[in-house]
Structure 1
């Protein structure tokens, strides 16, 4: 392939620009050579600035085809943080008790010898810019057993072909190819060109139905007796000293006259819950969409942080009543005990890999749109290099 080939997109698609195109073409060609010599896949990528006004989730969701995987992750109140990816350059899936270790090892293997831009050359770029693994993991080692979860592995991480990251008034576009030596460079570049052409930087998130309940039917997936029995069994085991705390979830099913699309749901969630972690994980078969105030773990170098979140009360539109509900929650012995159980477990777990672990002396209130929680921030100085997936394996589930 001639190195002058241009990875471009006619309007309205995104573009790498001439310099980044040359870098990407050169890296793809070099990655193919290395993959043939080493007999294993090699990663090639480039990262370029894009306009900070781009709605990265809307851009990705509009471009998503029926056979695409995509991932959107936002926390608007965290300096406008947003990360979205589409396409599959590489995928790691694992199940069982060793799934985190297996996935971490696979990610490290691909990182070895990767051809990508040096972070130091672009100090203003968002921390999430560059080649990035996107995905998640189930509560159970073997994953969900119902048909709805069949296309989501117990642990699945995807390296997207195209990723967009935004934070603090800066945004970056990253294109990634993982080659095994058998594919021609021209085919790799063409695939990236097609993907970029579909990404419209002017895309806006579609609006949701303002009153979806009026046209939908909501029903419990299981009869009330199922949940009542689960509560009774949990109480018995707590009284017997077998358990300290149990979290029960109730599944409901929404029957709507039209298909429920991920984009409008995610748009509504990030507008209503800007302090939460809002996400939409999509496979060709299903989309998993939600908003959670809970941080499992964040690692920056040798520092790790998390939050013990337990104890919940409702909100009120009346500020005085809302404050009173919060004061009651802070004074609640039951909720404080729940909070302490979670905080103690996290501290014990992190202490095994840390020089020190520090938790706030008292929980604070974390308020979101409809509820308020007790939250205890926890920080740790890691004793030795520990990967984020390794920390997740230790802490999951809290």
Structure 2
């Protein structure tokens, strides 16, 4: 039964922000494909959608429209700003016990000191988070759809009733429309951007590491693809869902641009007072047979360069857990994390959340990990700005969600691409150390390009 939003008990009217109220209402929706719900959202609000599926495939989130948008503020710490504003609105939340928590979904740019030179990332500021107007969640075999509505008006019943009609329309469309096509788009042209600059940057960074300026620096590069026609975000999400089954599959849309990917790397998860992270660094390709695959894996486990890279990440992440957790544990040696195109060294870390800790404090402390920035982090970031000369945008940056109870999960947005109508940009990088070879590093980036390249209809064989 729908409750009346203009006839709330007095105890519910008393909130931290007397002029703003944050309503949410949840219903069960039966069997709905999350991608069909995402695609149906194009008829409600095509330019403001998100998609999230965790690596274990136990939970999926889809958001349509923006009930609330939060971005960074000039001169203020972006992590603290988003957290403070989110808490501000959570204090105004009015919900019943059966209603699921509203979700705040979004991401940060890799570097807040981005070049002012125009780049392809024009729609993505240094922080972009949103509470969806329509929120789908599939977990434990249950499909729930919520309406989130924030208003400073005293009379909201008419507006909310209109949202209920849109919600019902979304559910109906998601249930009856045809399956999302995973047909790959036709590529008109693919271009390596500034290959020579990348090779020279790796050379310069290697020399600086050899002279002691840093221990490790991650250098990235990008590809540009042009298609014969516009590519729909739902289609590429369907492709990565089919192909990258052991990864976090995500998509964040803002206007005409859609950032998406399939990353194996969790940055932080908070669940019921427990914090979880994963040290992922060091990689090698998959084999063409089980025997060759194991051979490559053993080679990775025994490789000095990759083990050193991995240890940098372990030391950094366990240091953060030591400062933000009441207690924590970490595996003593890495294992192999195998996804479709690549295998990584992987060490899980788990801790009991400290009394004053939060998911945004973890994100702030963990980003960038040595796997995406370098060691020591401040020096590595300066060298990246000097030598890489690339606006990474949200590539290699934190992307994920949190809810009104403080639970949530962020991944590191690698194996990713930015899509805009009939164009896409792909990003990949690798850790440079004292004995790095530019050509070998260049070849490794192709392995990392492969997941998004395949999803967009390309291949490594032309």
Normalized against structure 1, the TM-score is what?
A: 0.84
Q: 1:97 to 1:314 in 2, by over 3 A?
A: farther
Is the 1:177–1:188 Cα contact (8 Å) retained in structure 2? Answer: yes
Output the CA distance in 2 between the equivalents of 1:357 and 1:368.
27
Question: Alpha-carbon deviation of 1:228?
Answer: 1.0
- For these two proteins, the number of residue pairs brought into alignment is 363
Is the 1:47–1:130 Cα contact (8 Å) retained in structure 2? Answer: no
Alignment of 1:106-185 (within 5 A): 106-118=85-97, 121=98, 129-142=100-113, 146-181=118-153, 184-185=156-157
Output the CA distance in 1 between the equivalents of 2:267 and 2:13.
37
Output the CA distance in 2 between the equivalents of 1:386 and 1:354.
8
Higher relative contact order (CA 8 A, sep 6+): 2
Is the 2:330–2:349 Cα contact (8 Å) retained in structure 1? Answer: yes
SS of alignment partner, residue 40 of structure 1 = coil
Kindly indicate whether residue 161 of structure 2 is the aligned counterpart of residue 189 of structure 1: yes
Q: 1:247 to 1:36 in 2, by over 3 A?
A: closer
Question: Alpha-carbon deviation of 1:150?
Answer: 1.4
Matched with 1:56 is 34
Question: Alpha-carbon deviation of 1:302?
Answer: 2.6
Give the superposed CA RMSD: 2.5
Q: 1:204 to 1:367 in 2, by over 3 A?
A: farther
Query: Where do 5+ consecutive residues of structure 1 fail to align?
Result: 1-18, 123-128
Matched with 1:335 is 306
Matched with 2:48 is 69
Query: Where do 5+ consecutive residues of structure 2 fail to align?
Result: 370-462
Q: 1:161 to 1:35 in 2, by over 3 A?
A: farther
Matched with 2:266 is 295
Q: 1:385 to 1:61 in 2, by over 3 A?
A: farther
Q: Deviations over 1:274-309 (max 9, x none)?
A: 110111111122111111001010012331110010
Greater percentage in strand: 2
Matched with 1:46 is 25
Q: 1:35 to 1:248 in 2, by over 3 A?
A: farther
Output the CA distance in 1 between the equivalents of 2:7 and 2:283.
55
Q: Deviations over 1:117-147 (max 9, x none)?
A: 32xx58xxxxxx4311111111112557544
Output the CA distance in 1 between the equivalents of 2:188 and 2:183.
11
Question: Alpha-carbon deviation of 1:90?
Answer: 0.8
Q: 1:28 to 1:379 in 2, by over 3 A?
A: farther
Normalized against structure 2, the TM-score is what?
A: 0.73
Q: 1:76 to 1:353 in 2, by over 3 A?
A: closer
Matched with 2:67 is 89
Of 326, 342, 360, the match for 1:355: 326
Question: Alpha-carbon deviation of 1:330?
Answer: 0.7
Matched with 1:257 is 228
